[in-house]
Amino acid sequence: MARGRQLSITLAFCWLNALLFAAWSVAPAAAIDDAEPNLYFGVRPRIPKGLMTGLMWGKIEGYADFQHNIRYTCEQNEGMKGYGWDEYDPRRGGVQSIHDIGNGIDITTSFVKVPGGAHGGNWAVRIKGKLHEDTPADQKTIVVWYVAQEGEDSTLQAQPGDDDFGYDGDVTLNGWSEALGGYKLVVTRGKGVQPRSDHDLSTIRGPGQTVVQSLNYPEEHLWQGKGILFRQLKEGVDWLVENKYDVQDPPPPWQVYLLANKPGKGNVQLVQRIFEGDFEFDVLFSSESAGVEITSENLTREVQEATESFAERFKSVFAPKAPFNADKYTRLGHSLFSNLIGGIGYFYGHSLVDRSYASEYDEDSEGFWEDAAAARARNLQALEGPYELFSSIPSRPFFPRGFLWDEGFHLLPIADWDSDLALDIVHSWFNLMDEDGWIAREQILGTEARSKVPAEFQTQYPHYANPPTLFFVVEDFLEKLLKTNNGSRGGDAATGKEPLATASLDNSEVGLEHLRRLYPLLQRQFDWFRRTQAGDIKSYDREAFSSKEAYRWRGRTPTHCLTSGLDDYPRPNPPHPGELHVDLLSWVGVMARSLAHIAGALGLDEDTETYSNVLTAVSKNLDDLHWSEEHGCYCDATVDAFEEHQLVCHKGYISLFPFLTGLLPADSPRLGPLLKLMADEEELWSPHGLRSLSKKDEFYGTAENYWRSPVWININYLAIVQLHNLALQEGPHKSTARDLYTRLRRNIVDTVYRSWEDTGFAWEQYDPETGKGQRTQHFTGWTSLVVKIMAMEDLPGGGEEAAGVRDEL
């Protein structure tokens, strides 16, 4: 029973990615080195027909079992003990560590990019393998660098070896493709012992050498690098058995699994080495149009500079503020942020969409969820596309694809670091919007991506919405643009900012142009939301300021509302076409506010007024339709047996939504009760952050318990930001807000830090009782918002009680 975001946890595959890309060129057509979305380490350009390269490794001890040891894409049971970027800046590169317990080895990949020329420039990576202390020093490790060139007109060729058996020194591949132009890829000899065997197989394989096998495979198979390697290995073994293999006196396994050396032309190239003990080598990619080739010396220097500049830059953008001054918090920040930004990838392929627009999808009958399920079962989906998406991801192992609801949160820290990069991603998402204004909430693009998601969850439905969090990012950009253009910025050296990373901010015309391009798209999405997710006010004699501003998420079932993003949070039950959702109305408010601001900045006065009026109507209707005086919080609404408006209150994140989204003014009479609800330890407050559902709710901690008690960092982040705003404004709640802000900020950071220290990972959510991270491991998506939380100001005098809370832990 897997649903929505949870479903992938149960998948057999764990996609470990080293998503890499460079974004130094804003021109989308340029061949920018980019993500290989499911590998421990791989590089590919941000174009459909690219050059895929990646690393495979594994120990070879026996003849039979070594297949399980080969790493390329991640399988869940591979016994990894932590992996990920220690530091990463997408414009320069970074360093990644992989702790491979199963193979008794640590792998480090140090990656750099050097821009230049017309095709995205050069890149290089240094791969180091260091055996663990308790690993036998003579363990043999097989290492393969996989190269696959897509595109019909492209060429790829290995230069011949030193003799028929292989290469004593570097291996050089020369390639050309339309998008990349000419290029050269060198796999250096590097350091490390390549073992020799006494076994005389010298007529077929050269001992102690590097080998290359050049092959031609149909393009649709190129993503299956590991499968291709195994197939070639098997071919070699079969040949050996037939021709040379004396069963009484077999050669050692590592020699059996050495590929025959067959260099030449081919869209697939396997460069293979066997190492005994530690090793190190470089892969150097030089683009012909860059005019200068990258060398190992360049790589050494660039890595060092990238490391230094990352630390500098982190300090200027996200320097943790009191009480998080200790170095350990900086390490936490480096790691989480690097993995968030290092998880940005390029995705390409077809998507499954059900465009039947079946009448059942209007969901206006009683029992609509059963009718809708029947309509879905007719399987009217079809492939659409191909589409491309440039996006970050919630979690490298489990969710290596784009999620609309998560993305707006991901981009907030990314935008602080590199606002142009964040804008590229926003544009990429809006490019996926259809003519109606719909964006699929989960982007499963291509055969490879679909192979990881069960069939029943692959199809996207154009009547399903998802929280429009990208509006946060555009709003954030607008605010930064306004601030920047009031002359507050010093020189680049002073701010530590790279000029390219803030080009749109530094040049207000460029910035405004981005807004002009986005504005009609945002409007279209807004209109789509209001049209397709409309709620019914009139049929039920509801009294409200506006007869229009009320909304209902489509896609509900009695137990779930996946489209809201809060999957199993309790809603009115059974579902009813007369239902109204307070979080959705709040999201519409967020969109209207944002559109009003942008229209203002663009000088579109009429639009500003239109959207301001919608915002006013939303604000009033939040109170008229969703405020419960009795419960002192906002609630979803349904209709009762007499078709009368009825509130259904399950206290938790939903009850706070108008506050969380910043729709309540500092003097709102609703704030008092809401702050009380947050601060109450018997309801939402826990020493580890705000609980998703009140401890007193009948559904607290029940069933899947996904959004029914655990602490989520994205929502806590919103609460912290709003408490901070409130603490800075004069009003009746100033000091309460200050206190809650200080304590909540501390609790959240400490909770994430502690689990990270204990386990080596950030987590999808945290247990409100123990503070332990749970569900998806290595969840460096919105949990990485702690870097922003740590960088927020300390408000002296707040959180008097905080010390007490800390002592309890």
Ligand X SMILES: *[C@@H]1O[C@H](CO)[C@@H](O)[C@H](O)[C@H]1NC(C)=O
Give the span between the Cα atoms of 160 and 173, in whole angstroms: 9
Token look-up 């492209």 returns 154
CA distances from residue 71 to 79, 127, 191, 604 in whole angstroms, order as listed: 11, 14, 21, 55
Query: Is residue 294 a contact residue for ligand X (CB under 6 A)?
Result: yes
Give the span between the Cα atoms of 17 and 48, in whole angstroms: 18
Cβ distance to ligand X smaller for residue 101 or 292: 292
User: Could you give the 3-state DSSP secondary structure of residue 185?
Assistant: strand
Q: Which stretch binds ligand X (CB under 6 A): 99-107, 291-299, 586-594, 705-713?
A: 291-299
Give the span between the Cα atoms of 270 and 60, in whole angstroms: 18
What DSSP string describes 745-798? HHHHHHHHHHHHHHHS--EEEE-TTT--EEEEES--SGGGGHHHHHHSPP-TT-
| Cβ atoms within 10 Å, residue 13 | 17
| Cβ atoms within 10 Å, residue 547 | 12
Q: Which stretch binds ligand X (CB under 6 A): 287-295, 390-398, 514-522, 677-685?
A: 287-295
Q: Which stretch binds ligand X (CB under 6 A): 392-400, 469-477, 480-488, 523-531?
A: 480-488
Cβ distance to ligand X smaller for residue 116 or 323: 116
219 has catalytic annotation: no
221 in Cβ contact with 227 (< 8 Å): yes
764 has catalytic annotation: yes
The distance of closest approach from Cβ of residue 209 to ligand X in the complex, given in angstroms and rounded to an integer, is 29
215 in Cβ contact with 268 (< 8 Å): yes
Cβ distance to ligand X smaller for residue 121 or 437: 121
- The strand pair at 268-287 and 191-193 is best described as antiparallel
Cβ distance to ligand X smaller for residue 25 or 135: 25
Query: Is residue 296 a contact residue for ligand X (CB under 6 A)?
Result: no
The distance of closest approach from Cβ of residue 122 to ligand X in the complex, given in angstroms and rounded to an integer, is 5
Annotated catalytic residue: which of 33, 420, 567, 767?
A: 567
Dihedral through CA 666, CA 672, CA 677, CA 678, nearest 10? 30
The distance of closest approach from Cβ of residue 468 to ligand X in the complex, given in angstroms and rounded to an integer, is 25
CA distances from residue 92 to 20, 122, 632 in whole angstroms, order as listed: 10, 11, 51
Q: Residue 733: CB partners within 8 Å, gap ≥ 6?
A: 666, 671, 672, 675, 726
Query: Is residue 295 a contact residue for ligand X (CB under 6 A)?
Result: yes
Q: Which stretch binds ligand X (CB under 6 A): 237-245, 293-301, 656-664, 680-688?
A: 293-301
Of 358, 482, 604, 792, the residue at the interface with ligand X (CB under 6 A) is 482
Cβ distance to ligand X smaller for residue 487 or 499: 487
Which of the residues 163 through 222 are near ligand X (CB under 6 A)? none
Of 241, 292, 311, 383, the residue at the interface with ligand X (CB under 6 A) is 292
Token look-up 């050996």 returns 240
The distance of closest approach from Cβ of residue 291 to ligand X in the complex, given in angstroms and rounded to an integer, is 9
Cβ distance to ligand X smaller for residue 285 or 438: 285
Q: Phi, psi (5° rounding) for residue 694?
A: -65, 140
Q: Which residues pair with 274 in a beta bridge?
A: 142
Cβ distance to ligand X smaller for residue 237 or 482: 482
Give the span between the Cα atoms of 787 and 769, in whole angstroms: 23
For 92-113, b/e burial (b = at least 16 CB within 10 A) is bbbbbbbebeebbbbbbbbbbb
Number of residues that bind ligand X (CB under 6 A): 9
Q: Cα 792 to the chain's mean position, in Å?
A: 23
Contact track, ligand X, 65-104, x by CB under 6 A: ----------------------------------------
Q: Phi, psi (5° rounding) for residue 494?
A: -65, -40
The distance of closest approach from Cβ of residue 114 to ligand X in the complex, given in angstroms and rounded to an integer, is 5
Query: Is residue 298 a contact residue for ligand X (CB under 6 A)?
Result: yes
Which of the residues 630 through 669 are near ligand X (CB under 6 A)? none
Cβ distance to ligand X smaller for residue 203 or 486: 486
Query: Is residue 602 a contact residue for ligand X (CB under 6 A)?
Result: no
13 in Cβ contact with 390 (< 8 Å): no
Query: Is residue 22 a contact residue for ligand X (CB under 6 A)?
Result: no
Query: Is residue 485 a contact residue for ligand X (CB under 6 A)?
Result: yes
Q: Which stretch binds ligand X (CB under 6 A): 67-75, 294-302, 353-361, 720-728?
A: 294-302
Of 6, 96, 122, 272, the residue at the interface with ligand X (CB under 6 A) is 122
| Cβ atoms within 10 Å, residue 681 | 11
Q: Which stretch binds ligand X (CB under 6 A): 184-192, 259-267, 377-385, 482-490?
A: 482-490
Give the span between the Cα atoms of 637 and 575, in whole angstroms: 11
Query: Is residue 486 a contact residue for ligand X (CB under 6 A)?
Result: yes
442 in Cβ contact with 432 (< 8 Å): no
The distance of closest approach from Cβ of residue 292 to ligand X in the complex, given in angstroms and rounded to an integer, is 5
Query: Is residue 300 a contact residue for ligand X (CB under 6 A)?
Result: no
Query: Is residue 114 a contact residue for ligand X (CB under 6 A)?
Result: yes
The distance of closest approach from Cβ of residue 475 to ligand X in the complex, given in angstroms and rounded to an integer, is 15
Query: Is residue 156 a contact residue for ligand X (CB under 6 A)?
Result: no
Query: Is residue 26 a contact residue for ligand X (CB under 6 A)?
Result: no
Annotated catalytic residue: which of 34, 282, 636, 764?
A: 764
User: Which residues are marked as active site?
Assistant: 567, 764
Task: Point out which residues bind ligand X (CB under 6 A).
Answer: 114, 122, 292, 294-295, 298, 482, 485-486
